[in-house]
Chains A and B, each alone.
Chain A
């Protein structure tokens, strides 16, 4: 079969009432610029880690804000802290500090 580089996403139900939103609240409290995110994906588009792995900043923070934090630890460990995402973000999100705050919340620092 030809591979076109696309895959079919699995069905996903988000249970807002059950999900743990405290982590997102912590990160947003310490880096409120994340509220400005418009999910444009420029960050993931420029990210050297995204180019060669499944990690994407946009997706990660979106899932986190929905309380889908199962893979968060593994995801955030991919970041190289290079700072490309900050430079391309049209909304001035301090992406690196979002990453750092997630790391702090997950006791990874």
Chain B
């Protein structure tokens, strides 16, 4: 049998790696919730498996998504991943062509140049040598770029790069050593025994006279094997765990097993371990502006994996979802953070909600739920009432004098189970009303009603509702010459995908000036209810900086569709008209349809604070 002691570090590393991976993956699989497991079973033997494999090729190996962000960065990741993958695959073919068996121990194709030093009569060998040298050069170019990137991340389209933990740095150094060591070992072999192609035999001839000795020959193969073995052992405890995990995550996604349970379950583990700490999402995080530079998703996930999370890191996040949009792996950063925040043992007592009377003295078709935040921006509520009246809708207010929170703020703080009393009471309210449509003005309520309440009635945000009323011709509106900007609220846009309805409305009422910070790339107003840490001063700073970017020149008005965004922007004191889309609509109703002309909303607002 072909064997030498130096293969041991590699072989042991590989075995240890596989044992750890299997142990972890089995545990996480068992932790998938029943719904997720069912969809794996259902979709396992379908076309979805094939599309998963295709995605693995495109993302895990070719890194298409990263290339879309920056070509150089994409090339760097591709050369390392795809190059190494090809080295292994072609190595296996080469080994097969020499030894005519596929049952060789796994170290043979890896250390092939050691075990097959002599030139063969086979003309194919020269081709293999060339291809393998070429692939090695390909990978080495990636290593060089990765090293260069550590110094000059700006060239790769990134302002910030991730700061790593010691374990990650060890793994990184070992990874960078693997391929130069392989080059050295193969070149020395070529110098002593011949063989190799342009790269290894070229370098070999340079080393021939002094460096290539029997001692350096043995030492270099040992060093190469040790670097591989070390890397394998570091892998499950470092960020490189993302390499095998992302592959599984892609399959799970294709099998449809991604519905979050809100707790740390199997899918959370797969997602959190698929983060490579690449840092591509860092620049999108607005908290960086405030100097909070240790709470972003890669740090959250990394410290979660290392079991060293601090409360600050978990809580200090706007849950704006901007990093989720930026993530090249498609990690559901918001859901993962919410799962990490989940705390089922926290103590609350909401029994008093029992006393809230949920009866109605009318039977409305449409129920309007203003929500806590809209109660604090009464202009929005009044405008909605004007609109309902103008369109002659049989509506009722759900929470006029019995305002119960929708429960989402509590869920965002990790107390999802504890929000049950609110959820049940609100559900009771909705059911008793007998309405078929539930309209909300607050995107926070909208999201939770739609996703967590399992309601039988239609849930709709007021932007969608007004758009519908306009299409049905129920509102008599006039278009003004005003130039307005629109701010996409996080919970309505990125989180719920509602971008077009507000734009339809605005386009028929005013001139909309868009900025690059719109739709998926919209900024957070800073007032997010998901962040319990930021001071009022910091929130204001975020809001002012966002306003700079979302209100273009010669625009007098900023329209938004969330009472919290409005409130946050208004309280910066910036001299700008800031209104909700419902107010814009009420303002532009023809006089025949409204008895009240809306004017200076900022004044109304500040008077009501």
Contacts and interface: CB of A to CB of B under 8 A. Distances in A.
Interface of A: 33, 46, 48-49, 51-53, 55, 73-74, 77-84, 86-89, 92-94, 96-97, 100, 103, 108-109
B346 A108 contact: yes
Nearest to A92: B536
B385 interface: no
B353 A46 contact: no
Nearest to B399: A48
Interface of B: 343, 346-350, 352-353, 355-356, 372-373, 375-376, 402-405, 407, 409-410, 413, 415, 422, 527, 529, 532-537, 564, 567, 609
A59 B536 CA distance: 22
Contact of A83 (B353, B529, B533, B534): B529
A88 B372 contact: no
Give the secondary structure class of B's interface: loop
A70 B363 CA distance: 46
A83 B527 CA distance: 10
Contacts of B409: 80-83
A108 to B, nearest CB: 4
Q: Which 10 residue pairs across A and B have the least CB separation, nearest first?
A: A92-B536, A77-B349, A82-B405, A53-B352, A108-B347, A80-B405, A48-B403, A81-B410, A82-B372, A81-B409
17 contacts: A52-B402, A53-B352, A73-B347, A77-B350, A79-B348, A80-B350, A80-B409, A81-B405, A81-B409, A82-B405, A82-B409, A84-B376, A87-B373, A87-B567, A89-B536, A92-B536, A100-B413
A93 B532 CA distance: 12
Contact of A51 (B403, B407, B415): B403
Given A84-B376, A87-B373, A87-B376, A74 B413 contact: no
A80 B410 contact: yes
A80 B425 CA distance: 13
A77 to B, nearest CB: 4
A62 B405 CA distance: 25
A81 to B, nearest CB: 5
Contacts of A109: 343, 346
A78 B349 contact: yes
A92 B535 contact: yes
A97 B410 CA distance: 13
A100 B355 CA distance: 26
A74 B376 contact: no
A95 to B, nearest CB: 10
